Structure 1
Amino acid sequence: MGDRYTRFAPFYNLLSGEYPIYHSGRVLGITALASGNGQQVLDIGCGTGLNFALLQQSVGASGTIIGIDRSAAMLHQARRRVENHRWDNVILLQADMALTDPETLSTRIQEAGGSALSGAALATYSLSLMNDWQRAWKTMTALLDTHGRVCVVDMADPLGGARWLTPLARLACALGGSNIHAAPWRALEEQCADVVRGSARAGHLQIRSGTTLPLHNE
């Protein structure tokens, strides 16, 4: 997977199908996340930083965006985006969320200038890329304040009249390294309160947001 994204990183924004398909999921997810002005938000699997502009609108100049990705090549593209926009409130860290324990990651965030705990976390199209996304989810929620906000946006088979597109959707996910059957939003549904459910592109994009319960932040 790392080699795939190393090769793909320079062309990711052009070839990922962002604006025809996936951008709408980001918009819905970040709206549902409802992060506030001045908050610190984790962007898990931030890739080339496609969420950053939308998150900037939510947290403002006084907020902080912590972009975490396991691919150095993708983070290089994200850093170029940050520099081009002159955002000085974005911290980028290379880490594998499925392998790094929360204490270590929290320390690294503080050393980079962020806070130990965040008020919100977002994972768009990233958990389904991870072999052990359940562990990544636990790490992600462990880095949140009590009653922090969390959002998962990921992919599923199209529904209804769009079912005929299922082979194409599965192929696109396979080429990108995603497991279209992972359904990581189910963890959010089971472990969060005030769950907001949404979908886009005939159900291919699934959006869930909620508030973490104290049990999952201890």
Structure 2
Amino acid sequence: MPPSPESFAAIPPGNPEAVRELFDRIAPQYDRLNDLLSLGLHRLWKRQAVAWLQPAPGQRLLDLCCGTGDLALLLAEKVRPAGLVLGLDAAAAPLEQARRRASRCPWLPLEFRQADAQATELSDAWADGAVMAYGLRNLADPAAGLQELRRLLRPGGRAAVLDFNRALNPQGLTAQFQRVYLRQLVVPLAKRAGLEAQYAYLEDSLARFPTGPQQERLAIEAGFSHARHQLLAGGQMGLLQLIA
């Protein structure tokens, strides 16, 4: 059996500097590992997030914690030619990857900026819609992230927040399967790429992450009129569907 995450150097979940350094380090291999570790299913889950968003030509959309830009590219196809997708991320290296990818599709209305998802400095009601994939769990304060997300949306605008799901019962089958998946598949595969410490942090980050019902409550408290947490992949993932 591979070692538990506790045997690796600790990466404090929610520590902004540590999270930035983590994603700067893994950026070159991030997309390949995502495909490998999810068997390509992360692309399906992201398309489910886009389906909830209902993007339309001419809209102005945000991709918060955009990483290497795969979701931003998908959204840009939907809003062209007169719309805009702005991708924001706190880490510089993933943004460089995103810009390189976008440069191969110069017809897409895409911009990328380095910014904190909890304090974007964009104006109120800037966006018609927004997505955040695997970013909320890494914020120092997920509640503050949801408040900023609400501030950025126009009234009636939609948002989709995709991430791992924290099971309600930590001893149930869903949680047990998740631990096995993280400890016996994710960490050993990441170790082969020299990134075991970077991926071992996942279990700790999930332990502090709000459950689905807690996310719904935080979203309503942030001012959203609608919040529904939909389980995906047999409860391993969750899609928080929001309306401002």
The answer on 1:175 being equivalent to 2:199 is yes
The answer on 1:26 being equivalent to 2:38 is no
Give the alignment partner of residue 243 of structure 2, picking from 196, 205, 211.
211
Cα offset for 1:35? 2.4
Identity among equivalent pairs (%): 24
Larger Rg: 2
Q: Which residue of 1 aligns with 2:98?
A: 78
Cα distance, 1:129–1:68 mapped onto 2, change above 3 Å: same
Equivalences, count: 201
The answer on 1:188 being equivalent to 2:188 is no
Cα offset for 1:93? 0.9
Query: Deviation per CA, 1:39-61, whole angstroms, max 9, x where unpaired?
Result: 11110000001202321343232
Secondary structure of the residue that 2:206 maps to in structure 1? coil
Q: Which residue of 1 aligns with 2:192?
A: none
Cα distance, 1:196–1:156 mapped onto 2, change above 3 Å: closer
Q: Return the alpha-carbon distance in structure 1 between the equivalents of residues 200 and 75 of structure 2.
A: 24
Where structure 1 has 5 or more consecutive residues not aligned to the other structure, the ranges are 108-115, 213-218
The answer on 1:105 being equivalent to 2:122 is yes
Task: Describe how 1:135-150 pairs up with structure 2 within 5 A.
Answer: 135-150=144-159
Secondary structure of the residue that 2:44 maps to in structure 1? helix
The aligned amino acid for 1:203 is: G
Cα offset for 1:177? 4.5
Q: Return the alpha-carbon distance in structure 2 between the equivalents of residues 54 and 176 of structure 1.
A: 29
The answer on 1:48 being equivalent to 2:68 is yes
**RMSD of aligned Cα (Å):** 2.7
Give the alignment partner of residue 111 of structure 2, picking from 91, 95, 110.
91
Q: Which runs of 4+ in 1 moved over 6 A?
A: none
Q: Which residue of 1 aligns with 2:30?
A: 12
Give the alignment partner of residue 59 of structure 1, picking from 53, 56, 79.
79
Q: Which residue of 2 aligns with 1:166?
A: 178
The aligned amino acid for 1:23 is: R
Cα offset for 1:175? 1.6
The aligned amino acid for 2:130 is: A
- 1:29/1:207 contact within 8 Å kept: yes
- 2:215/2:229 contact within 8 Å kept: no
Cα offset for 1:32? 0.8
Q: Which residue of 2 aligns with 1:2?
A: 20
